[in-house]
Structures are given as C-alpha cells and as structure tokens.
Amino acid sequence: MKLKDLYQLAIKTGIEKDPRPREDVQRVLDEAQKSWEECKPAQKDFFDLDSLENPYADTRILAGDPDREVRRVLAGIDIDVGEVLLAERLADKGKPVDLLLSHHPAGRALAQLYKVMPLQQDFMAAYGIPINLAEGVLADRIQEVRRGLLPKNHNRVVDAARLLDYMLMCVHTPADNCVASYLQAFLDREQPKTVGEIVEALLTIAEYKEAAKLGVGPQPLDPGGEKLRAGKIVVEMTGGTGGSPEMFAQWAKAGVGTLVCMHLSEKNRKAAKENHIRIVIAGHIASDSLGLNLFLDQLAAAGIDIIPCSGLLRVERNGETN
C-alpha cells in the first residue's frame, strides 16, 4: 500500500466512525473550501491544503513521499526521536521499517490539534444540548489549548524522521472516533446498570484487561463509586483533548448519568462531581490502543506488517469494528 492510500484510508475510517451527523463533517470541509477561495494570494503559501479533503487537522503525513510503498509499520501511541532510532536498530536486526505511525500528533498536526475540538460541540448537540450552549462552554477551552500548543517544539520528531529517511504519519482523531464508536455500541449492547458493571464490562475487552494487569485498568474516578447507578451512559473520547469544566452542567441537563472517558483533569473532576455526573476512567493508553488497533487491523488485512511500540497494546480483531 502506498503512503497516500494509507492516509486516505485513515481519513475514510475517521469519517465513517465520526460521532457527528455526516452533514456536520461535510460542513468542516465546506468551511475549509470557502477559506481557500477567500484566501489572499499572499497567504496561499501558508494554507493547509490537506484541510480541503481531510476534516481532521491532527491527522497528517508528516514526512516521506506519499507515493512510497509501505510494507512494514512501527506503530506506537507516541513516536518520538527514540522510536526513530529504534527503527534504525530494527533495520540492523533484519526488520527494516518503512513507516513510523504515531497516534498522538506531531509537527503541523500537533500545532493544529485545537482545530478538531469543535467536534465536541457537535457531539454535545447530538445529545440534545443546544449548539449555542455547546459552543459557549467550549470556546475558551479551545483557545486555551491553542495558546498552550504555541511554545511546543512541534517538528522535533519530524526532523529526525527526515534525516533518517523514514516516512512519518499520525492518526489521532480518526482512531479516537474508532474507540468512541466501538465502546458506545458495546455499552449500549451490554446495558450496565451501575458504575461497577461498566468497569466489569470494559475488563472483558483485551486492551483494558492488559492495562489492568499493568495496574492502570478501568476504574471509577472516585474510589467506592462502583455501586452508584449509571443512568444514561455516554462515551466521551474524541475531539482532540479534554473539554471545559462548564460542559458538565450541560451534560447533566441533557440527562446523562455517566461519562466514560480516557482521562480527566482535576478541574473537570470537580465540575463532574458538582453536577452529579458519574465518571468512569477507561484509561488513556488502553483506549488509544483500542482505537488505533481498529485502524491498524485494516493495514494488517492488506498484508502490512505491524510492529507495536511506545505503549501500544496490540490486539487484532479480524474485521470486528463495533
């Protein structure tokens, strides 16, 4: 498979598993097209042309010729300079790697991470929260994330990959869409009644079972919460990064009893408690692994060799997607 085809597959998978209505995804692409058409000539050199076909600003080819063939992938939750050097050692041992595939973004994809956060607004609206409120509670948080990304050394690993002639790509929101849709369908089928039953159900999934063996399995946010009744369960695991504390009041008004998250900041924990929203922490790396695995299975089916690294708990599902 060529790198460009692998990239297109990531975009296609992300759109298929996007929790938003399809028209909301198309609106993102339409807005990018309008921005391009209205772009002044002096600004066209800086425009992200990928945004015309890819609604996920945190998913990009970062290094390498898109027409190069991919036969073996070193895939991890994070790809940093250490993983680039690891690929060199693998080559020395007779396992040359073509593509370094990261879940978490780097380079331009990291700089633009905040641009995928409006997905959270549409996601909230799909559960009955008025869009004006969803936009209002997330607006400041999106700008906080944008400012926080500005000082990062975005291109560090990109430079390392280029120097050693490796292809480098990141697949962030499409993989998060995969895990969010997979777990929502799973919990809708299982219908757990308590927080403890949610945890028990998650522990039947291989990635969470492996994480539990490492001491970081799924758990209630607050100890002793297992017997609390779950109410309406929503899996909240996509949209770039954590949202605003203000959103928990809106989730409560929408009738949500429990949010299943990868992780939660302390200020969001306090906001959830104040609004009586139960939280199940499924686990960051285990959840990222599940989402990335659902994408990687498609590469494996195409005959591409996958070498997991950097925390990826690799599990193959033989075509199971939900």
297 and 223, same structural domain? no
Reported as a single tens digit per residue, the pLDDT across 186-222 is 999 999 999 999 999 999 999 999 999 999 999 999 8
Q: What is the mean pLDDT of the chain?
A: 96
277 and 292, same structural domain? no
CATH number of the domain bearing residue 269: 3.40.1390
Q: Is residue 90 part of a domain?
A: yes
Closest CA to 291 of 82, 115, 58: 58
199 and 138, same structural domain? no
Reported as a single tens digit per residue, the pLDDT across 105-148 is 999 999 999 999 999 999 999 999 999 999 999 999 999 999 99
Q: Is residue 78 part of a domain?
A: yes
Closest CA to 276 of 213, 232, 218, 306: 232
3-state secondary structure of 316: coil
121 and 21, same structural domain? yes
161 and 218, same structural domain? no
Residue 157 structural domain: 3-175+287-309
72 and 162, same structural domain? yes
Give the separation between CA 100 and CA 83, rounded to whole angstroms: 8
188 and 126, same structural domain? no
319 has a pLDDT exceeding 70: no
256 and 122, same structural domain? no
42 and 74, same structural domain? yes
Note every long-range contact of 208-214, with CB atoms under 8 Å and residues 24 or more positions apart, other chains counting. 208/282, 208/283, 208/286, 208/290, 210/286, 210/313, 210/315, 211/283, 211/285, 211/286, 211/313
**β-pairing verdict for 219-220 and 278-281:** antiparallel
pTM as predicted: 0.95
Q: Is residue 317 part of a domain?
A: no
